[in-house]
Amino acid sequence: MTEDILTIEEVAKYLKVSERTVYDWAQKGEIPAGKIGAVWRFKKDSLERWLNERLSGSRKFPLPDSANAVKLITPERIMFLNYEDKGEALLALAANLCTAPQITNQAELSDAILKREQLISSAIGFGIAIPHVRLPSIDGIAVSVGISRIPISGFMPLDDEPVRILIMIAAAYRQHTQYLQTLSFFSAKLKNNKLRCALLAAKDAEEVQKLFTN
């Protein structure tokens, strides 16, 4: 543990958990991590702060219930995409997200989403990407859902399944717990293959909302 940058194997050994557990945490944004190409890497000092916070506070992040999800997923923030290019799809969804009252600066949000995507792919496998940011100008959690009619290129998912479902999440800096709750909710919900197939077959925004909140 003398290096500043750690691999999944080194983090798993340090935390005494499986490599798969570390990988899942990284995919869900539950542990500080970044991608270099398609490989997860971890900064030692960030990892130690993360661990100390949890050991001292025993903090847990329960999933939001469906009632809270209804407030996040509204028909106005659900759109059907038809872009092959990742950048175009992300900008279209960011523009939609900026119609939420919590977002006050569209240019800042779009720029932050694209910059984060350049550093770390938001693809988590199974045809899903969850681009997410926290910014000082945002006042509250906001979510936009994008269902693509065609595969989107450029996300470089580890399982090579083209992305067609996007969940874009924006939050304020102070909302760390709610931010992680929201990420966890969608990551867990979308593991259901039946739900993913139904979302891709949905005909309108109201149907997508019902599928998420049923």
Q: Max Cα separation, the chain?
A: 54
5-57 CATH: 1.10.1660
Please, which residues bridge with residue 166 across strands? 129, 146
Give CATH superfamily name and number for 66-213: Mannitol-specific EII; Chain A (3.40.930.10)
Question: At residue 59, does pLDDT exceed 70?
Answer: no
pLDDT in tens, 100-145: 988 988 899 999 999 888 887 889 889 999 999 888 888 888 999 9
Distance (Å, whole) CA 77 – CA 98 = 9
| Domains of the chain, residue spans | 5-57, 66-213
SS3 assignment, position 167:
strand
Question: At residue 55, does pLDDT exceed 50?
Answer: yes
What mean pLDDT do residues 79-102 have? 94
Distance (Å, whole) CA 8 – CA 211 = 34
Distance (Å, whole) CA 80 – CA 165 = 10
Positive/negative CA dihedral, 24, 27, 32, 33: positive
